[in-house]
Chains A and B, each alone.
Chain A
Amino acid sequence: MSIFDKKMMELHNAISQKELSVTELVEASFERIGKTEKSVQAFLTLDEEGARNKAKKLDEQVAKGEEMGLLFGLPAAIKDNIVTDRVRTTAGSKILSNYDPIYNASVMDRLGAAEAIMIGKTNMDEFGMGSSTENSGFQKTFNPWNPEYVPGGSSGGSAAAVAAGQAYFALGSDTGGSIRQPAAFCGVVGLKPTYGLVSRFGLVSYASSLDTIGPITKNVEDAAYVLSTIAAHDPYDSTSAEVEVPDYVSALTGDVKGLRVGIPKELIGEGIDADVKAKVLEAIKVLEGMGAIVEEVSLPHTEYAVPTYYILAPSEASSNLARYDGVRYGVRSDNTTNLIEMYKETRSHGFGIEVKHRIMLGTYALSSGYYDAYYKKAQKVRTLIKNDFDQLFAKYDVIIGPTAPTTAFKIGEKTTDPLTMYLNDICTIPVSLAGIPAISVPCGFAGNGMPVGLQIMGKHFDESTILRVAHAYEQQTEHHKARPSL
């Protein structure tokens, strides 16, 4: 059993009892990266020097008998749209290929305070736009379970790094499903918190009303520890919620007796792969066996979620991405003699094809004469989708379904037509539009050998309950212990 198969608390204890040093832990990470990175390609940047220095410092603290932070010494992989002081941050885009931030995202400060160690920055679809990590401006990442398949996106690098045992845990970001879907495709745990629970300060913006940061881990308990660390009100983020953050770990009781579970027929009906459906229904039987009360329910506006999302997100993106003009940071196109041409050339060469596509869509949807027909209409449908959830949560504690309609698809399979790729987000997007929390946990393998994800959705700020259900399920099954052979 490798040290990456141990639980966070087991490592914590081993370090405090001096059976394991932080340096050994960090070296194990780099050794594993050395062995597997050629076939996975999860990282865009490694910070070996920074990680080794930090490990040394933490080992000195242990020698002195100082108190240990919650994530003491744990090697973390960070999605490359989370800014890291002096460590290159590209958001997967060539336009930021030379960008070395001068500050840390708030989540990085919080990981630092908990004494986790960042080992590197992970590959992603450019600016978070994609469901396969094939839209990165730099490289493709491969699914650790089978290199012919995508790892999912856009946090594909983060999910693959955890699945491959390269990092102990990872941070990803989720706008329309970008933590949960790659977690499902790579057979790991991914949690999208309630919008506003985790600060977005220092997250490279895609769609500001939807973007969230969350953990990717190998088990639910670890997800609870990481969430406990990063969830906090932040005065630097005006959309950060002022709520009390509970102790998520103490919520993991293993008990779901009497819990009311709704299964939306729209999420297990047409368009959902038969193998995925079978595994999800098996998982629901497990919860029923533990005393949960399961009923079929309806989210009637589910079919409108994907078009709604693909109006709202590109609109917000077109506005957020206006800041990439080649003036203050990023790559600038040379040989232009006037300012407007410089903007245009910089943006035309710096952005990739999908990013430009979404900027175009968003600019069109927000333009005079079309705003009401697209953007405002989509915001109204968003209300209907949110109301669907509110009504169900009046009666049910959690809502459960698959994380994605299929398992991981093959590399290149969906890149020609954006629309087919967009439809892969059908199970995750409604949650994003409603701003509620959801967790994806492994629930077995399909006939093609690829992992299936179970999605557990909860009320706003009720992360404790989805973690409790996910943990209880995990205790009854062995799926989360399976590892890809690399």
Chain B
Amino acid sequence: MSEISREQVEHVAKLARLNLTEDEAVKYTSQMNSILNFFEKLDELDTDNVQPTSHVLDVYNVMREDEERPSIDREVALRNAPDHEEGQFKVPAVME
């Protein structure tokens, strides 16, 4: 596994929709490197023939009947919204 650079850290932040301050960029670069280094411990293990476990119990799709039923009240749904207008969530312009 490789060393992570400051540029990569900034790229990851962009993917994660985070703006990093100068201090954070420096701090996260150093912390992520020490933790990625720690993750290399797993390379000691040969896992070629091991099945991955994403879930400890058997999981299966859960379906319900496709029936009409009342939905959440619009006013209630908007109660926690930072901004709304005419019954809709309001956000800044998506296009210029």
Taking Cβ atoms with an 8 Å cutoff, the residues of A that contact B are 98-102, 195-196, 209, 235, 238-239, 241, 301, 303-304, 307-308, 310-311, 318, 322, 325-332, 336-345, 347-348, 351, 353, 356-357, 359-361, 363-364, 367, 373-374, 376-384, 386, 417-419, 433-435, 460
Question: What separation, in Å, do the CA atoms of A219 and B31 have in the docked complex?
Answer: 40
CB neighbours (8 Å) of B45 from chain A are 301, 304, 381, 384
CB neighbours (8 Å) of A209 from chain B are 54-56
Closest CB-CB distance, B66 to chain A, in whole Å? Answer: 15
Q: Which of B15, B43, B59, B61 lies at the interface centre, i.e. has the most chain A CB atoms within 10 A of its CB?
A: B15
Question: What separation, in Å, do the CA atoms of A224 and B89 have in the docked complex?
Answer: 44
Closest CB-CB distance, B32 to chain A, in whole Å? Answer: 6
B32-55 residues at the A interface, CB under 8 angstroms: 32, 34-36, 38-39, 41-45, 47, 50-55
Closest CB-CB distance, A239 to chain B, in whole Å? Answer: 6
CB neighbours (8 Å) of B94 from chain A are 338-339
CB neighbours (8 Å) of B69 from chain A are none
Closest to B76 in A: A102
Closest CB-CB distance, B9 to chain A, in whole Å? Answer: 7
Q: Is the CB of A360 within 8 A of B16?
A: yes
CB neighbours (8 Å) of A338 from chain B are 92-94
Question: What separation, in Å, do the CA atoms of A301 and B46 have in the docked complex?
Answer: 12
Q: Is the CB of B92 within 8 A of A336?
A: yes
Closest to B50 in A: A380
Complex A-B, nearest 9 residue pairs according to Cβ-Cβ distance, in ascending order: A435-B56, A379-B52, A332-B82, A329-B80, A380-B47, A238-B62, A363-B16, A380-B50, A383-B53
CB neighbours (8 Å) of B81 from chain A are 327-329
* Interface residues of chain B: helix, strand, loop or mixed (majority): loop
CB neighbours (8 Å) of B43 from chain A are 377
Partner of A357, one of B31, B54, B64, B89: B31
Question: What separation, in Å, do the CA atoms of A331 and B62 have in the docked complex?
Answer: 33
Q: Is the CB of B17 within 8 A of A344?
A: yes
Q: List 23 A-B contacts (CB under 8 A).
A: A98-B80, A99-B80, A100-B80, A102-B80, A235-B64, A303-B41, A304-B42, A307-B41, A310-B38, A329-B82, A338-B92, A344-B17, A347-B18, A353-B24, A361-B32, A363-B15, A364-B4, A364-B32, A378-B42, A383-B53, A418-B35, A434-B56, A435-B57
Q: Is the CB of A386 within 8 A of B19?
A: no
Q: Is the CB of B39 within 8 A of A360?
A: no
Given contacts A338-B93, A377-B43, list 13 more A-B pairs with CB under 8 A.
Answer: A102-B77, A195-B57, A235-B64, A307-B42, A337-B92, A367-B15, A374-B39, A377-B42, A379-B53, A380-B51, A382-B52, A383-B51, A433-B56
Q: How many inter-chain residue pairs (CB < 8 Å) link A and B?
A: 157
Question: What separation, in Å, do the CA atoms of A233 and B15 have in the docked complex?
Answer: 37
Question: What separation, in Å, do the CA atoms of A318 and B9 have in the docked complex?
Answer: 15
Q: A379-B53, A379-B54, A380-B50 are in contact. Are A304 and B35 (CB under 8 A)?
A: no
Closest to B83 in A: A332
Question: What separation, in Å, do the CA atoms of A338 and B41 have in the docked complex?
Answer: 42
Q: Is the CB of A344 within 8 A of B18?
A: yes
CB neighbours (8 Å) of B35 from chain A are 310, 361, 418-419
CB neighbours (8 Å) of B31 from chain A are 357, 418
Q: Is the CB of B39 within 8 A of A239?
A: no
Q: Is the CB of B80 within 8 A of A241?
A: no
CB neighbours (8 Å) of A301 from chain B are 45
Q: Is the CB of A360 within 8 A of B18?
A: yes
Q: Which of A101, A380, A434 lies at the interface centre, i.e. has the most chain B CB atoms within 10 A of its CB?
A: A380
Q: Is the CB of B52 within 8 A of A307?
A: no
Question: What separation, in Å, do the CA atoms of A340 and B92 have in the docked complex?
Answer: 9
Closest CB-CB distance, A247 to chain B, in whole Å? Answer: 22
Q: Which of B45, B61, B64 lies at the interface centre, i.e. has the most chain A CB atoms within 10 A of its CB?
A: B45
Closest CB-CB distance, B23 to chain A, in whole Å? Answer: 10
CB neighbours (8 Å) of B32 from chain A are 357, 360-361, 364
